Amino acid sequence: MARAQAGDREAYRRLLQDIAPYLRALAARHFRSDEDREDAVQDVLLTVHSVRHTYDPARPFGPWLVAIANRRIVDGLRRRGRIGSHETLVEMDPETFPATETNLQEEAADARLVREAIDQLPVGQRDAMRMLKLEEMSLQEAAAASGTSVAALKVATHRAMKRLRALFLPGGGKS
């Protein structure tokens, strides 16, 4: 570590390479999963890198490394505990209707209801909804096709959406 602090890149690379197996053994005492162990090792290596300037070459390297490793491992355990306390294991329920064909009737009924509601809109709003939402025309294309300005189409679409929300959502679509 003293040579690494002096700028010897090769010594620093070897140091990190040599301490990684030891750090894995320390992490294995606390973590069961390979992913958690490797996360802990990487966390320790990053910490060693960021605080390497604090190492005093007059003192032994091992205790300095172990102190950092133990703190980072404990931090990882605390983090896992906090995350785990907020997570709930959810088992996947079997699908009742896995085939896509099973819901086609409901989707068709919903589409029919929307089309019927659009048919009840005033002419300008109905045309704006058909061109912009059903036919997916751009504002410029719809303006050219209808002879209406882009601004007027935007207003008509906004008013149509507001009216449709009032029809379909409880409370008139107000939030």
Same domain, yes or no, for 74 and 126? Answer: no
Q: Clarify whether residues 79 and 18 are in a common domain.
A: yes
**Does 122 lie in the same domain as 62?**
no
Helix or strand (DSSP H, E) at 11: helix 9-28
**6 and 82 co-located in one domain:** yes
Q: Domain containing 153: what range?
A: 118-173
Cα–Cα distance for residue pair 26/136, rounded to 1 Å: 60
Same domain? For 78 and 123 the reply is no
Examine residue 110 and state whether it is found in any structural domain, yes or no: no
Q: Which of 43, 63, 86 corresponds to the end of one domain?
A: 86
The rounded distance, in Å, linking the Cα atoms of 99 and 86 is 34
Rounded Cα distance, 1 and 55, in Å: 8
Q: Is residue 143 part of a domain?
A: yes
The two structure tokens encoding residue 64: 């300095």
pLDDT tens across 33-81, in order? Answer: 888 899 999 999 999 999 999 999 999 999 999 999 999 999 988 887 7
Which CATH number belongs to the domain containing residue 28 in this structure? 1.10.1740.10
Give dist(CA 145, CA 65) in Å, integer: 73
Residue 157 within a domain: yes
Kindly state whether residue 101 falls inside one of the protein's structural domains.
no
Q: Is residue 159 part of a domain?
A: yes
Count other C-beta atoms under 10 Å from residue 53's C-beta: 6
- Pair 6, 81 in one domain: yes
Q: What is the number of domains present in the chain?
A: 2
- How far is residue 69's CA from residue 170's CA, in Å, rounded to a whole number? 57
| Residue 73 resides in a domain | yes
The model carries a pTM of 0.47
Residue 158: count other Cβ atoms within 10 Å of its Cβ: 12
Q: Do 85 and 79 form a contact (C-beta atoms < 8 A)? A: no
pLDDT in tens, 89-112: 666 666 665 555 656 666 777 778
pLDDT single digits (tens) 7-20: 999 999 999 999 99
